[in-house]
Chains A and B, each alone.
Chain A
Amino acid sequence: MNVLSFLIPITLIMGVVGLMAFFWSLRSGQYDDLSGDAERILFDGDDKPLPTTPRTDHKEQRS
């Protein structure tokens, strides 16, 4: 059963990494325009998102 002592931490770390990845994707605005992103794969050319993050804009907008 000693195997548990490092298996459990490994599972937890993997879970936390997944959770962090999800939060990061949420924060970087990847869910802002789901229907648009679905159609963008049909366009030619490079698709670069705007260089500003949505969070900072909002601080700006409130001011």
Chain B
Amino acid sequence: MNSEDQTASAPVGAAQQAGKKRLGSALQRGHARHSVIRAPDGRGLCVLSVPGIRCGGCVASIERALNGRADVISARANLTLKQVRLLLPDDGADPASIVDALAELGFDAMPAETSDPAVDPEGGRLLRATAVAGFGAMNIMLLSVGVWAGAQGETRNTLHLVSALIALPVIAYAGQPFFRSAMGALKARRLNMDVPITLGVLLATALSLFELFQGGHHVFFDAAVTLLFFLLGGRYLDHMMRQRARSAVSGLARLSPKGAMRRDADGGLQFTALQAIAPGDIIVVSPNEYVPVDLKITHGTTDLDRSLITGEAMPVVSGPGDLLEAGTLNLTGQIEAVAQRSADESFLAQMIRMQSAAEQGRGTYVRVADRAARLYAPVVHLAALATFLGWLAATGGDWQRSAFIAISVLIITCPCALGLAVPVAHVVAAGRMMGQGVLMKDGAALERLAEIDRAVFDKTGTLTTGRPKLASVPGDAPTLAAARALAAHSGHPAAWAIAQGGTTSGPAVTTVDEFPGLGVSGMVDGRAARLGRSDWVAGIASTAPASDDPTFAFDGGTPMAFPLTETLRPGAANAVQALMSEGLTLSMLSGDNQARVTRVASDLGISDAHHGMTPEGKIAFLQDQHDQGHRALMVGDGLNDAAALAAAHVSMAPASASDAGRMAADFIFLREGLDAVPMAFRLAQRTARVVRQNFALAILYNCIAIPLAVLGFVTPLIAALAMSISSVVVIGNSLRLNRTDKRQSRHAARTVQQQVPA
């Protein structure tokens, strides 16, 4: 995994402000205290997820710092999973101070999800099966070489017997993934690729056993076991690809503790797990924390970032009596609120239910390999049957010989090349995408992406970065420096935009007060000043501000306005152009207001723009597209897009998306630029082309092999050679995907950012 791809854009948090001693938040510390489990020897074990681990240097500095502490028995950092495993003196130990120590080193930490197991049982099973099949294949192959070299009589029978003794347990153990999958498909009255594979392996084994007891010349144990080995190798690669994407996605999970600070009866604050929060509990949400459950504010006012819920880019002011949905980000003030509903009935949970309902529509999609199997299996099985009957007629009832030849037809038709045709191509493509900073969750998504004929974009956070930016910087330098110094003390996105580009050695700021919904006031170089809403700043300024943009003024001074714009994602215009030139129809759906939506749409040249969309509206839009026979790609980031992402034919989300959005999306792009979308689309098309070529190669091979088999010329030696060659050809063809695509411009990510007034 390329570590520089992990640059998920995190908003500038209060923790990262200059000059503060970094500490983990009270919420993170409380969560960590909750997560210590009892190790077998009575010590405490705590697994912290530390997304900031990037390289060996981080590992070394974390381990040196933690292993030097008296309250840590041992600490070991895992670079692959980006976790730190701590062994503490006992299971009542408090890792809070360790979270703080990590924060001081510059690493945010929170307990790893226990539901996200570090070991992966399925992968282990596949790897063991692959190892066993490899051991069997190599040994049987060597014994077969002896037979091909001309062993005769008793010696040959002995070699066959030994082959059988190796092959039977190996097939029984290593064939299980295929047998299970084939049984499942047959029970559901469907055919998949594993049905012909299973049938071929089992019949080859049965025939070989029969031949062994007859003292015959030809046994196919080597073919059966080698087939399993190749296919298991392909399947393990496929599994690894998905696993890697999954662990990368869970690594992107925001540092959002799965719980909240609840006020006890005695007035103290106590960390409470999400599931334990009941309606009526008093919850305290500090600045820069996500709202854990649906709440009603009782005390305090604050600005809220609701963009993940509604797609509305600008922060919303809230005060006592307002209702907040779970998943809203609290920006500026501390609030106290009453939980309205328990966690599994919150807005977030409703969205997840909607999402699973939307996913039902995808159940009808059949993967390419299984579609091929539907055609392939009947043809081959009928050919084998016809061969059997034909030879039966030709030899006048020699059913042994007829059965032998018919089964050799089944073996030589090589489900091997067909079985490898898809997964190998997908694994190579996934590797390519990983290199470009795109994670792919599974191969079926890549097949669906190649089929799209239109793309639907969410606006806030997808086409735009969702963070405001200064359109033009006013000229008056001393006032500007004062404004920036004051802005650095606020958690409001508009203030971040103003503070950016300021120096740390600005004027001294004292007695800062943040007024949520209005702005921030303080003493800058001994003069009272305000920064915030223009009508609020007008209260101290000498003249009324000219615009309703955020304004700064000294007491009695001239107000200075800061016009803000919404920034397009880098490469957004290029991506839109590229997708249009591929012949896709583009639409834009947004929960934002009409003015901003039309502005962005006209800037990008998207003619079909919809504003004020609710989650239901987005699903309805996509359903409508689907009913008209279109296949849409949905690109979105918010919680309000999660269900739409699931409803679309295929979906993509940026790494900055909400957790629900990331879970729902098929592809996740880790880099800031939007050019990942056309890149992934082009690569999906190339992959689909390579898969088709692989099938063509496998079919071509079968056109040569089947006549030979039907005429009875196939011996185990020919079968072994033919199968290996066809597999190697298919793998070689898939590796061509690694060649760079000449049409890709490598500079798309560096295009100048365009701006549109908000």
User: A residues engaging B (CB < 8 A)?
Assistant: 1, 4, 8, 11-12, 15-16, 18-19, 22-23, 26, 32-36, 38-40, 42-43, 48-52, 54-58, 60-61
User: Could you give, for residues 120-134 of chain B, a 1 whenever the CB lies within 8 Å of some chain A CB and a 0 otherwise?
Assistant: 000010011001100
- What are some 17 contacts across the A-B interface (CB < 8 A)? A8-B162, A11-B139, A12-B162, A18-B135, A19-B132, A32-B118, A33-B81, A35-B1, A35-B79, A43-B56, A43-B59, A50-B76, A51-B41, A52-B39, A57-B39, A60-B37, A60-B38
Contacts A19-B132, A52-B40: A11 and B79 contacting too (C-beta < 8 A)? no
A26 to B725, CA, bound (A): 31
A7 to B171, CA, bound (A): 24
Point out the residues of chain B lying under 8 angstroms from A55, CB to CB: 119
Inter-chain contact B139/A12, CB cutoff 8 Å: yes
A22 to B38, CA, bound (A): 30
Inter-chain contact B60/A26, CB cutoff 8 Å: no
Inter-chain contact B114/A61, CB cutoff 8 Å: yes
Inter-chain contact A43/B1, CB cutoff 8 Å: no
Inter-chain contact B118/A54, CB cutoff 8 Å: yes
Q: Which of B25-47 contact A (CB under 8 A)?
A: 37-41, 45
A21 to B48, CA, bound (A): 31
State the 10 A-B residue pairs at the shortest beta-carbon distance, nearest first: A39-B56, A36-B79, A33-B78, A33-B80, A19-B135, A35-B79, A61-B114, A50-B76, A1-B155, A56-B40
Inter-chain contact B56/A52, CB cutoff 8 Å: no
A20 to B138, CA, bound (A): 16
Inter-chain contact B87/A52, CB cutoff 8 Å: yes
Residue of B nearest to A60 (CB): B37
Residue of B nearest to A23 (CB): B128
Point out the residues of chain A lying under 8 angstroms from B143, CB to CB: 8
Known contacts A32-B119, A57-B39; 6 additional CB pairs below 8 A are A23-B128, A32-B81, A36-B56, A40-B56, A42-B56, A60-B40
Inter-chain contact A35/B80, CB cutoff 8 Å: yes
Which of B55, B79, B142, B166 has most chain A Cβ within 10 Å?
B79
Point out the residues of chain A lying under 8 angstroms from B41, CB to CB: 51-52
B77 contacts the other chain (CB 8 A)? yes
Q: Which of B272-299 contact A (CB under 8 A)?
A: none
Q: Which of B606-638 contact A (CB under 8 A)?
A: none
Inter-chain contact B127/A26, CB cutoff 8 Å: yes
Inter-chain contact A50/B59, CB cutoff 8 Å: no
Inter-chain contact A51/B155, CB cutoff 8 Å: no
Contacts A52-B40, A60-B39: A36 and B78 contacting too (C-beta < 8 A)? yes
Distance in angstroms from A18 CB to nearest chain B CB is: 7
B501 contacts the other chain (CB 8 A)? no
